[in-house]
Amino acid sequence: MLSKPQKPAFHIPTLDGMRAVSFFIVFFAHAGLEGWVPGGFGVTVFFFLSGFLITTLMRMELEKTGTVSFKKFYLRRVLRIFPPFYVVLVLSTLLCALGFLSGKLEWKSLVAQYFYYYNYWVAAFGYDGTAGGTGVYWSLAVEEHFYFLFPMLYVLMAGKLRLPGRSQAMVLWGLCGLILAWRCYLVFVHHGAAYAAWDTLSPEAQEWLTGKTYLTSDTRFDSMLFGCALAVWKNPVLEKAPLFSDRVWKLGFLPLGLAGLMVGFLIRNPAFRESLRYSLQGIALVPIFMAGIRLHAWWPFRWLNNRHVKFLGNLSYSLYLVHHVVIFAVNDHFPQLHGVLRAALALLIAWALSRAIYEWVEKPTAVLRKRLTH
């Protein structure tokens, strides 16, 4: 008896490749090229991508079943995020306690890290108190806060109020505008005198001011909301009718999006970077994602869909979790190596560890996730 063919897994072209690119942006910045590589932008792309993906999946569920199951949504997120995160965090903490990894452990910092309010803790008290390399986990706290709150907003807009996609997008853009206004208030009013005297501040004071807008959820949610807005209206995955012709995307909107990113990279004024930069990047990513998904077979995007690049994208979460820890360990134990060799060794070790996590942690929990939420 012939078995029923299985339905192919849902896949969005180019997204795995963009995950891989985002990881390498973050990695090379942490490996010593932060003066040349915008590592924070890699995190912003991860945020945008997360907002777009979870909203696309909720929209598909709502259109298919007429509702969005909060229970299944949160169960999927928990089983996707928690197992690799806690495996890496526990091992990193143990290695630090044993002296193999740098860092001075403090229980208050660890509690903040383990219970996902680490971004606010860092903004208030700094990165000290945790295992070396785990400071990047502030971004996971931002995402967890967003995952907790946004499904309720989406169900209210799309399920209860039944707003059309364009109206939903307008609500989300409005929220992006409010968050921009909040950042501008913090930068130009609440801390305006400090930003005006930026060159006279100590590095510690500059880092603290930056943390107030770079790290906290209330000032960074818009990076995900721009992706959510793209998912609810003119979604290039779900709405097949193109908004404009391919030629307009190739010669018009895509170059404009890239130009917007370049402006954000080139303007180095601290007040601009901590207020308007994130909004400019979010707006610029919209046409880039639209073009990348719709025109995935076009040569500038084709390589992002190469199977090796896509596989690196599948590993991007575990790579993100381990990479900075590995960089810290390699720098501590192999200081005699040239910086390039240390970066190459760290990348190789991070890849091996992430592959092991993918096979032994992520894949088994993915099977359980599908079984429990089917």
Nearest to 362 by CA among 53, 47, 37, 81: 81
Residue 114 placed within a domain: yes
Which tens digit of pLDDT belongs to each residue from 314-328? 999 999 999 999 999
Let me know if residue 105 belongs to a domain: yes
Q: What is the pLDDT of residue 354?
A: 97
What pLDDT was estimated at residue 5?
43
| The pLDDT value given to residue 181 | 97
Query: Residue 137 domain-assigned?
Result: yes
pLDDT of residue 108: 96
CA dist 365 and 318 (Å) reads 14
* pLDDT at position 131: 96
Q: What is the 8-class DSSP label of residue 161?
A: S
The whole-number mean pLDDT for each consecutive block of 10 residues of the chain, a chain of 374 residues, reads 48 91 96 91 96 96 93 94 97 95 94 96 93 96 97 96 96 98 94 89 87 93 98 91 82 94 93 95 96 93 94 95 97 92 96 96 91 76
Give the per-residue pLDDT at 13.
87
What's the pLDDT score for residue 9?
A: 57
Spatial neighbors of 75 by CB under 8 A, at least 6 apart, are 369, 372, 373
12 belongs to a structural domain: no
Q: Is residue 361 part of a domain?
A: yes
Residue 325 covered by a domain? yes
Q: In the prediction, which pLDDT does 154 show?
A: 97
In a domain, residue 5? The reply is no
Domain count for the chain: 1
Q: Which residue has the tokens 């995950």?
A: 19
pTM of the complete model: 0.94
- Residues 239-275: tens digit of each pLDDT: 877 778 888 989 999 999 999 999 999 999 999 999 9
Domain that residue 263 falls in: 17-373
Residue 10 inside a domain? The answer is no
